[in-house]
Amino acid sequence: MADLTGYESIAIEIEGPLALLTIRREAQLNALSTTVIAELTTAVGELELVDDVRVVAIVGAGDKAFVAGADISEMSTMTPVQAQAFAELGGALGEAITSSSKPYVAAVHGFALGGGCELALCCDFIYASEKAKFGQPEVKLGVIPGFGGTQRLARRLGTAKARELCMVGDPIDAHEALRVGLVDKLVVASEGKAPKDALLDEVRALARKIAANGPLAVAEVKRLILQGSSVSLDAGLALEQRSFGILFSTADQREGMAAFLAKRPAKFEGR
């Protein structure tokens, strides 16, 4: 198994099929520094090697922020060359998450601004508590989103809403984020339960549902939806048909269909 310890700014906890990847810079509202981004990218790669992990959730430490943005204290003195390199570092993290075979969930509680919103956008699912706030306020600093905000927001929400969020720079709350399609699920805590705890419970429930499915099939769905978004419909359908056929060479396909016919739960092994 990959070594999942020894990080400075993040921590990984394995809970059965779920890996909780926590950004631990609570005093800085979990801002994305060069170190944090590099460690997250490494962790994504290492988690690819852990077969028992079927879903990864990204969480921010504390009760105030998922990720409040990129680290402005670090960015403020960057040269243009350094700033582009920083944006490319964030881009590499986004690519690692989107190209991973495992589904990623952003569990957003508190602020997800700037780089935090962009990090959430890289994930396959965005779950939010009622205390979540999303935004791309970079224009208020005289710059633009650099980790994919202008591109992923437009693809997820449409160009009109992306223009509003990126040009005006004002945040939106969790209910508005759900309404416009930025959030997949808004988790409302029951009386007596902390909002973040309720959020993580919903993420765990999602992980259990996904983990009960064939992992090779889940990975193909993720890959095909990503690839299909940048090709023609005919090309995307051809990719789907090819993958459909290939999966019939797997032990998971044989197990899944045998279990269905026998009316028993399937035991998938990712083979």
255 given a catalytic annotation: no
What token pair was written down for 128? 């939010």
Q: Report yes or no: 93 and 41 within 8 Å, Cβ to Cβ.
A: yes
What token pair was written down for 226? 């990503």
What token pair was written down for 187? 């988790």
> How many angstroms separate the Cα of 261 from the Cα of each of 215, 254, 258?
20, 11, 5
Distance CA 254, CA 49 (A): 24
Distance CA 25, CA 173 (A): 23
Residue 10: CA count within 13 A, CB half-sphere: 27
Distance CA 261, CA 149 (A): 46
Closest CA to 108 of 198, 192, 8, 13: 198
Q: Which one from 39, 118, 202, 220 is the annotated catalytic residue?
A: 118
Q: Which one from 138, 164, 202, 240 is the annotated catalytic residue?
A: 138
138 given a catalytic annotation: yes
Residues with active-site annotation: 118, 138
